[in-house]
Structure 1
Amino acid sequence: MVTYSELISAHPRKWKEAADDWAALAKYALNAANEVREQGAKPLADNWADEVGASAAGDFVKLANQLESAYDLLLSVKMVMEGMHTSLETAMSLACQITDLSRAHDLPIGDDGMPLECPAPNAGADKQQAYNDIVALCEQALRQATEADEKTSAELYRLAGMTGIGDPDKALKEQNRASHVEMDMLAADIPKANTDPSAVRAWWNGLSEKQQYDMMRAEPVKLAHLDGIPESSKREMRGTDGKFDRVKMVEYALDNWNKDDPIHFENNCTNFVSQALDHAGMQKKIDPWSGARGEDTWGNTGGIGIDAIDASLYYSKTWAGAENQQNFMLKHGGEEVPQSQARPGDIIYYEQQGPDAESERGNTHHAAVVTAVMPDGEVKYTQHQDSYQNVSLQGRLPATEKAEGQQRIRIVRPHPDWY
């Protein structure tokens, strides 16, 4: 258990500096892997076709795979350290809030961060409330710091035993796991659902504006359902235009990432995005004459319960076609935003840039839901086919490009203009 004295003497910035160092090492490993493939394995395979050449090329491929695996493992360490940094930093902000409350209401605190004595019965409601808030803030700060410390210790110890992995697929799974560990740490930074609203309000006010902004991008679902969070902040997370509820969109994606969609298409990724938008309240755009199959529509008109027939007759071309959906959203009020401005409820589209057997250059062929954005700007997404929850866009992109060719990532923020 982390003590209060340990918390207030912590140095969260050192964890951030360490995370940046591990990120730099990961980038170096990835660049080295690409160099080995391009300058070693590929020329040998192209120009030295006998058994000796094939053996030499195989050695280069093995080395490249080891370096690529190192990239994923190093990035995993970085994610865990980022989570530790955020948890410690927010916990220390709560400690500052405790100090401010204790001074403002003449409630001296002990070495454990708790008030030394309860307010007298005639002390007044404000002083009693301040006492309650200090107790709740201290419990929250120590709980989140302890959970972060335990998760970080366990995960770093586990990752230390993975250094021999030379299979990029296995290493990528470790990166996915680390992404979830980071998200679990952030979730622990938020008061539990049954916390008194006044204590939640004190917790929120104890965060800096940047920490509030970061938390809104990282954990919108938890915050939106928590009594005590300002309604203005909840509206911002849900969408100020009132056209659809971005929190419900994220919630649907997180809850259904490993479940079957109500209807199955041959390529289900964009169907999953449309299901999330539909659940979030985006109204359908149906042609009065040709129904959902019109040229400028999004939505469906039900069906007969047979997926193959319903997909071709009752669902719009924009419902499950990535390029069609992307172009429709941009045509009807949507905006493309840089990755640095992404937020939950945006849509990620993959546009083919490099050579690939299945996708032409310039074709948008994949879609996913932005479900979280970390304080350092790392985008997490959730998708179907294949099904993943809260995995790193930046972390997984190299593996995608190795398998499918260079991609242009487009982040689109829908602003439906048809209602």
Structure 2
Amino acid sequence: MVTYAELISAHPQKWKDAADDWAALAKYALNAAHDVREQGAKPLADNWADEVGAAAAGDFVKLANQLESAYDLLLSVKMVMEGMHTSLELAMSTAHQLTDLARAHDLPLNDDGMPLECPGPNAGADKQQAYTEIVALREQALRQATEADQQTKAELSRLTAAVKIDDPDKALKEQNVASHVEMDMLAADIPPKNTDPAAVRAWWNGLSEKQQYDLTRAEPVRLAQLDGIPEDVKREMRGTDRKFDRIKMVEYALDNWNKDDPVQFDNNCTNFVSQALDHAGMQKKLDPWDGARGDDTWGHESGIGIDWWDTSMYYSKSWAGAENQQNFMLKHGGEEVSPSQARPGDIIYYEQQGPNEHIEHGNTHHAAVVTAVMPDGEIKYTQHQDSYQNVSLEGRLPTTEKAEGQQNIRIVRPHPDWY
């Protein structure tokens, strides 16, 4: 258990500096893997066709795989350290808030952060409330710091045991686990759902504007469930135009990422995004004559309950086609935003840039839901058809590009203009 004295003397910036160093090492490993493939394995395979050349090319491929695996593992360590940095900063802000409350209401604290005395019945309602909030804030801060400390220790130990992995597929799975650990650490920084609203308000008010902003992008679903979070903050997270509820969209994606969709297409990635938008309250746009099958529509009609027929006759072309959906959303009020502007409820589209014999250049062929944006700007997304929840765009993109060629990542924020 982390003590109050240990918490207030912590140095979270050291974790941030370490995270940056590990991120730099990861990037170096990835660049080295690319160079080994392009300047070693590929020329040998193209120009030296006998057994000796094949063996030499194989050695280069093995080295490139080792470096790619190192990238995933190094990035995993970076995620854990980012999580520890964020958790410590938030816990320290909470500790400072309880100190300010103690001073404002003349409630001196002992070395363990507890008020020296419990105010009596004649102390006044404000002082008694302040005492209650101080105790709750202290419990919250120490819980945050302790859980972050324990999770960091456990995950770094796990990653240490994985250091000899030289299979990029296995290393990527380790990275996915680390991504979830980082999210779990951040979730533990938020008061539990049944916390007294006054304590939630005190906790929220003790955070800096940046910390508040960061949490709205990283954990909107959990924040929205808390009584005591300002209503204007919840409205901003849900979407101020009130056309659909971005929190419900994210919640649907997180809850259904590994479940069957209500209707199955040959490729369900974009179908999954549409299901999330539908669940969030986006209204359908149907043609008065052709229903969902019109040229400028989004949505579906009831159908007859047979997927192969319903998907062809009762669902719009923009429902499950990534390029059709992207173009429809941009045509009808949507805006394309940069990765630095991304927020939960945006849609990620993959547009083919590099050579691929199966995907035409410039074709948008994949879609996913942005479900979190971390304080350092890392985008987490959730998808169907190869189902993943809260995985790193930065972390997984190199694997996608290795398999499918270079991608142009487009992030679209829907603003439906048809209602």
* TM-score > 0.5 by shorter chain: yes
Question: Which residue is equivalent to 1:174?
Answer: 174
1:215, distance to aligned residue in structure 2 (A) = 0.3
Percent same amino acid among aligned pairs?
Answer: 85
Q: Superposition pairs for residues 70-219 of structure 1, below 5 Å?
A: 70-219=70-219
- Deviation of 1:223 (Å): 0.3
One-letter amino acid of the counterpart of residue 152, structure 1? T
Write the distance in 2 (CA, Å) between the matches of 1:108 and 1:171.
51
Name the SS for the 2:278 alignment partner: helix
- Match for 1:389: what amino acid? Q
CA distance in 2, matches of 1:330, 1:357: 27
Separation of aligned partners in 2, 1:302 and 1:357: 37
Structure 2 segments unaligned to the other structure (5+ residues):
none
In structure 2, what is the equivalent of residue 266 of structure 1?
Answer: 266
How much does 1:319 deviate? 0.1
Measured against aligned partners, the alpha-carbon deviations of 1:286-322 in whole angstroms (never above 9, x if no partner) come to 0010000000000001111110000000000000000
What is the match of residue 325 of structure 1?
Answer: 325
Please list, as runs of the form range in 1=range in 2, the aligned pairs for 1:208-287 lying within 5 A after superposition: 208-287=208-287
Asked whether 1:360 is paired with 2:360, we answer yes
2 CA distance for matches of 1:148 and 1:328?
Answer: 43
Q: Residue 30 of structure 2 aligns to which amino acid in structure 1?
A: L
2:411 alignment partner in structure 1: 411
| Amino acid of the structure 2 residue aligned with 1:248 | K
Q: Which residue is 1:339 aligned to? A: 339
SS of 2:367's equivalent?
Answer: strand
Aligned-partner Cα distance in 2 for 1:212–1:63 = 43
> Number of residues paired by the alignment?
419
Deviations 1:215-241 (A, max 9, x none): 000000000011000000000000000
Paired residue secondary structure (1:120): coil
- The alpha-carbon deviation at position 357 of structure 1 amounts to 2.0
How far has the Cα of 1:183 moved from its partner?
Answer: 0.1
For residue 164 of structure 1, give the secondary structure of its aligned residue in structure 2: coil
TM-superposition CA deviations, 1:107-128 (whole Å, max 9, x none) = 0011111111111211111111
**Distance across 1 between alignment mates of 2:317 and 2:353:** 23
Where do residues 22-37 of structure 1 align in structure 2 (5 Å cutoff)? Answer: 22-37=22-37
CA distance in 2, matches of 1:258, 1:53: 44
Amino acid at match of 1:102: A
The CA distance in 2 between the partners of 1:206 and 1:118, in whole Å, is 22
Task: For 2:286, give the aligned amino acid.
Answer: I
* Aligned mates of 1:300, 1:156 — CA distance in 2: 47
The corresponding residue for 1:310 is 310
Could you tell me how far apart the structure 2 residues matched to 1:148 and 1:241 are? 36
1:229-264, Cα deviation, whole Å (9 max, x unpaired): 000000000000000000000000000000000000
Once superposed, which parts of structure 1, at least 4 consecutive aligned residues long, lie more than 6 Å away? none
What is the TM-score normalised by the length of structure 1?
A: 1.00
CA–CA distance in structure 2, aligned partners of residues 239 and 110 of structure 1: 44
Structure 1 unpaired stretches of 5+: none
| One-letter amino acid of the structure 2 residue matched with residue 387 of structure 1 | S
